[in-house]
Structure 1
Amino acid sequence: MKRLLMLLLLVPALAFAKAPSAMFYMMGSQKSIDSFVAHADKIDVLVPTWYGVDENGLVSGQPNDYVMKIAREHRVPVMPILSANGEREKFHKLLGNVTAKKAMIASLIEQAKLYGFTGFQFDFENIAWTDRDALTAMTKETADALHKHGLKLSMAIVPNAPGYAGGGAFSKWMWEYWRGAYDLKALAQSLDLVCLMTYDQHTRWTTPGPVAGMPWTMEHLEYALKVVPKEKLSLGIALYGYHWFAGNPVKDDGKESSNISASYIDADESFPLAKQFGVTMQWDPVEHESWFYFYRDGMREWVFLPDAHAFRDRYDVVKKYGLQGFCSWVLGSEDPKVWDELPEAQR
């Protein structure tokens, strides 16, 4: 009887245990918007790609009225991205311009108050490692200002284990312009949330391989957890894939050279492609990601994609480590079965 009573007391706690926060990015494409509309009740935070900032601190962009209407109806918090479009030199100028930074911050506060955003997410990429301290300082300045108005600041951060450049020319380039600018420990002290972009392990810049293999993902997660509290850490989970193929060896200028190409591929393209060429999707039990290859014009083409199985395995990691949640790029690219893995959002 005593044991039964203990079990009955435990049931409500289990039933109402909060699930990890589900943060999804949304682009301006129709299928990205449609995915949000169809699944709003399973999304805890929507992060649309609506705003950019230039070297003078001018913030440009505006929300989609229809998306905001749906978000209000379903009580989905909206935290738009602010980016610099990957323009390294212009972003460097912004970091060194006190007046520009103040203008940027003032605009963010104005837009958030005007449209009811919960805050903003910084998504600054392709940054020189020499701008590390300046990026940290601007992040703190922005977070402090937003906090005074009851707003939040999160940040999408390129994962940077093992904390230094490593060997090889590609590794050096990645640290110099992609990983080295983020002081995880210092940034986490200012930010409300760190969105660790644990995807794009292999890209159009690399040979074929998983978008985000599990060993690679775990290496970056465990490194980040050394300096970022788990309550502030959101694990990046990719929803898109990559397709590698032989591109045109003749350039626009008429010169010839190797042109191994790759492009993004979404689930609404990758699954039909596999069916078209009569191939079976393969599962890699080490990388925890699906893949397939096929031949066209006598040459092998590769596709790696994080399907619902891959999503589930990473969602399990989020729960196992007690992280704040996950952040997924991007709505509209996902395997539809991904949504079967998620509970209804708790508002």
Structure 2
Amino acid sequence: MSFLIGIGLFSFGSHRSFAQTQTPISFAYLYGRPPSSFEASINRTNGTFNRVSPTYFGVNADGSLDLTSIDTQFINDMHQKSIKVIPRLTADWNKKLGEKALANREVLAAQIAKAVNKYHLDGVNVDLEDLGPSDKQALTQLTALLKQKLGKKEVSVAVAANPAGWTAGWQGSYDDRALAKVSDYIILMAYDESYAGSAPGPVAGLPFVTKSIDYALNQGVPKDKLVLGIPLYGRIWNTDMSVSGSSVPLYEVNTIMAKFHPSLTYSQSQQTPVATFAVGNNSHFRLNSWSDPLPVGVYTLYYENHDSISSKLNAVTANDLGGSAVWSIGQDDPALWTFYKAALNPIQGIH
């Protein structure tokens, strides 16, 4: 049985006031899997998504565009399904590369616009992370340049969750209000509340998510421009912290359930499922192909299931947000796609 249907179902309500006339954005990042697998990954979601974002746009050492892995057949196939292809621009969490990109923004924006037009893409998603408050204005200017050059094509920006209104650190690099004015929509990365190296806790507890939504709206982001990012992974810790917040794809949670038969609880306050289990001497279990086997010990796994994801989608509809985004396809459990689309758009139930 899929972990997504193992705990009592969360009841999502229909609160959307604009859904009858506006189809919610349903955005899927494609990452961490071979590009040859992208189409099959999208096909198995049963028409859930109307936008996909492969990582075609990187940054070279001089701040110019690093154009990689363009798959024209994939682009054509997505268009035949009425799915927009909006590549992600990333510096791979490299502060120096990100700053080079911003310093070279005039050239970079022109290069991106040329690539978008050449390959019949539908826009760009700006996902530059690990910057700082001094980069805030330049990031807004890059976004404005892209929108100016791309015209009717879509420009979106991924921004940090900021439930506490931090102005320092990488959260301080985003001027949500200004970015919303120069882009088509803002993708709120409402995850990594707990992270690699942190104390055990949820990846995206509902209070963290709702406070992050409130912050963005209070900053002046129009609700129909705000898109809620949802994680398709969990994180795992053991009691001696030798494993400390390692990422666990949702499909791997099913394997853990079958192999270790963990004790399951559900936090109503956090709207997050939690699994606890022991690993013995001869388990030889690896979280992924490149990691060492889990050492002997007692583990706590915070993850996402039907109830927790439904609670986040309910926050989208309750706040009349523009839609949702997932990080990332390839980490998902196929059971998600039996309910996700209807939960995001309960009035229409279609995309």
Length-normalised TM-score, structure 2: 0.81
Q: Deviations over 1:140-184 (max 9, x none)?
A: 22222222xx3221011112233235xxxxxxxxx32x2111111
Q: 1:231 aligns with which of 220, 224, 232?
A: 224
Q: Deviations over 1:306-342 (max 9, x none)?
A: 1222111111111111111011111122232221221
Q: 1:122 aligns with which of 122, 126, 130?
A: 126
1:24 paired with 2:28, answer: yes
CA contact (8 A) 2:91 2:128 kept: yes
From the CA coordinates, give the structure whose radius of gyration is larger.
1
CA contact (8 A) 1:274 1:281 kept: no
User: Higher helix fraction: Structure 1 or Structure 2?
Assistant: 1
SS in 1 for 2:178: helix
1:146 paired with 2:154, answer: no
Shift of 1:66: 4.2
SS in 1 for 2:204: coil
| Equivalent-residue separation in structure 2 for 1:33 and 1:304 (angstroms) | 29
SS in 2 for 1:281: strand
| Equivalent-residue separation in structure 2 for 1:228 and 1:76 (angstroms) | 25
Shift of 1:107: 1.4
Match of 2:57 in 1: 51
Which amino acid is the alignment partner of residue 43 of structure 1? F
CA contact (8 A) 1:32 1:333 kept: no
CA contact (8 A) 1:293 1:300 kept: yes
| Equivalent-residue separation in structure 2 for 1:220 and 1:15 (angstroms) | 22
Match of 1:242 in 2: 235
Q: Deviations over 1:175-214 (max 9, x none)?
A: 32x2111111111111111000001110113111101000
How large is the RMSD of aligned CA atoms in angstroms?
2.3
SS in 1 for 2:45: helix
1:106-255 matches, cutoff 5 A = 106-147=110-151, 150-164=152-166, 175-176=168-169, 178-226=170-218, 227-245=220-238
The number of equivalent residue pairs is 309
CA contact (8 A) 1:307 1:335 kept: no
In structure 2, do the counterparts of structure 1 residues 55 and 129 end up closer, same or farther at CA, with 3 Å as the change threshold? farther
- Please, which moves more after superposition, 304-313 or 74-83? 304-313
Which amino acid is the alignment partner of residue 325 of structure 2? C
In structure 2, do the counterparts of structure 1 residues 71 and 122 end up closer, same or farther at CA, with 3 Å as the change threshold? same
1:323 paired with 2:306, answer: no
Shift of 1:15: 9.9
| Equivalent-residue separation in structure 1 for 2:46 and 2:71 (angstroms) | 15
Match of 2:13 in 1: none
Length-normalised TM-score, structure 1: 0.82
Match of 1:7 in 2: none
Percentage identity across paired residues of the two chains: 25
CA contact (8 A) 1:47 1:78 kept: yes
Q: Deviations over 1:295-316 (max 9, x none)?
A: 2246221211112221111111
1:76 paired with 2:83, answer: yes
1:39 paired with 2:22, answer: no
Which amino acid is the alignment partner of residue 152 of structure 1? E
Q: Flag structure 1 segments of 5+ consecutive residues without an equivalent.
A: 1-12, 166-174, 248-257
| Equivalent-residue separation in structure 2 for 1:209 and 1:287 (angstroms) | 10
Q: Deviations over 1:191-244 (max 9, x none)?
A: 111000001110113111101000011011011111100111001111111122
1:303 paired with 2:286, answer: no
CA contact (8 A) 2:75 2:121 kept: no
Match of 2:277 in 1: 294
Match of 1:279 in 2: 262
In structure 2, do the counterparts of structure 1 residues 15 and 326 end up closer, same or farther at CA, with 3 Å as the change threshold? closer
Match of 2:338 in 1: 340
Q: Flag structure 2 segments of 5+ consecutive residues without an equivalent.
A: 1-16, 281-295, 343-348
CA contact (8 A) 1:26 1:36 kept: no
Larger relative contact order (CA 8 Å, sep ≥ 6): 2
| Equivalent-residue separation in structure 2 for 1:104 and 1:120 (angstroms) | 12
- Please, which moves more after superposition, 26-35 or 184-193? 26-35
